[in-house]
Structure 1
């Protein structure tokens, strides 16, 4: 809890950062709404579409609630239910974004059933770990939470962010392995789009998660929520762009050996014909 003038100043910076991130989410939505309409409205729904909705819209709830918490004085209120809903929205948005990254990696792995057999249980396990660590942190000598009505978390947030970081590193490693082990001499522009856009965005997502881990683990608790909203916003914005760029690439290529019809992926030719 902020107790000094310096802490109060840092807490104000934390609030402004979260409010600014909410503004960034709204701005990004405005400039990409055309892509969303083009590739989602009137199309047959499938798993990717539901995941996209999670990734695209849950962050609005979490970001709005966090921004409200930053500008509204709530002293004397019972803030725990409010915070639980906000945290749940953040969690749903991040999980949706991670599943979109998983789908992109699945496509890059030629829609391999072996990939699904390994990665689906792995993803479920990591999701459960993140929920457990986030809602009922195991007491490894990590300080507990600050008062509920203060925009300030605890060092225990390091655990779920650490789980998330490890998962993202695994997806990145799988992408790099497939690119240089199987597609080293492959010149398809679709493969290049899958790889270059995907790996760039995954690096950015991994960097924001790494920064959050460092902040929660090493800096004073007053900094803990500095990247609370930016974390979910970056995940949502970049995961959506991976989807939009993939579809735009497929649409522009015409006869190239990949077709992505929102909200379903279908990959023929040298990729096995599979619809997700």
Structure 2
């Protein structure tokens, strides 16, 4: 006769496997979305990035653009789908994925921050304030990611056909990362809206204002909503759904950041003599000299 404890364990395992399957679907969807968006913007990237002179902004763009293919696609899917992985390798993948993911988020935030700073005409005071805030955001994300990973408990697969890493214990500190990013992106959103209102009232170059302000604001809203949703999901759902939106936000964060730069550079490359912030432009060699 099967004991009650055994029945409970089996039911919990069935629930866990079902939850992990759902998380896997979200991860695969995120990877597919990343690849789809990549090919949609590949032509712009070739024209506006690969054909441009090398600069710090170009390097920053490329690194943040391609990191999610490693941490959000490759590592995440191996973590969820491998049938031969052991707890030791799982831990290494978890640590590497966490480090690369946070690094990718911060690199994207650097680009978004430079975008806002440029719109504010490179205000020295704002530059200092944003630098301090960004450093604090990065430090918090790295610290809480480390604490979260330290609290993970991994065990051997419960049966031979089990796919992915078997997590038997965790904490919810991962939500702090999304909370910190949500707060930081909300600040950037406000800082983008303020000059956007002024620019709208002045009725200048409508096409440029649409790219710089309207699209910029929309992208910041998307990032804010994604982080807020992740916080709610982690706090409200059982721990087994902890990763359900992580890859989705990671891929969208990188894709939207890339589009912020590509769209404005695409609009301004033919009128570079009329407008250029000199910071976040990815310079097009046919129009300008080497500069950041």
Task: Tell whether the structures are fold-level matches, with TM greater than 0.5.
Answer: yes
Runs of 4+ in 1 over 4 A off after TM superposition: 252-255, 259-262
The separation in 2 between residues aligned to 1:209 and 1:102, in whole angstroms, is 17
User: For 1:67, which of 58, 77, 97 is the aligned residue?
Assistant: 77
Pair 169,259 (structure 1): closer, same or farther in 2 beyond 3 Å:
closer
> What is the CA distance between 1:83 and its match in structure 2?
1.1
8 A contact 1:129–1:163 mirrored in 2: yes
Aligned to 1:150: 166
> What residue ranges of structure 2 are gaps of 5+ in the alignment?
1-8, 156-164, 285-290
* Structure 2 residue 99 is matched with structure 1 residue 88: yes
Corresponding position: 1:168 with 2:185: yes
Summarize deviations over 1:250-269 as a string: whole Å, max 9, x none.
1244654337795359xxxx
How many residue pairs are counted as aligned between the two chains? 262
* 1:196 paired to 2:204: no
Q: 1:74 to 1:218 in 2, by over 3 A?
A: farther
CA RMSD after TM alignment = 2.6
CA change 1:70–1:173 in 2 (3 A) is same
Q: Which moved more, 1:164-173 or 1:243-252?
A: 243-252
Q: What is the CA deviation profile of residues 197-218 of structure 1, one whole-angstrom value per residue up to 9, with x for unaligned ones?
A: 1011111111111111111112
Distance, in Å, in 2 between the alignment partners of 1:259 and 1:117 is 18
Task: Provide the secondary structure at the position in 2 that maps to 1:96.
Answer: helix
- Which residues of structure 1 form unaligned runs of 5+? 266-274
Contact 1:65 1:86 in 2 (8 A): yes
Whichever of the two has the greater Rg, that structure is 2
Q: Could you tell me the TM-score, scaled by structure 2's length? A: 0.81
Per mean C-alpha deviation after superposition, the further-off stretch among 178-187 and 10-19 is 178-187
More off after superposition, 216-225 vs 84-93: 84-93
C-alpha distance in 1 between matches for 2:269 and 2:233: 41
2:38 aligned partner: 29
Q: 2-side partners of 1:234 and 1:181: how far apart? A: 29
The range that moved more, 128-137 or 162-171, is: 128-137
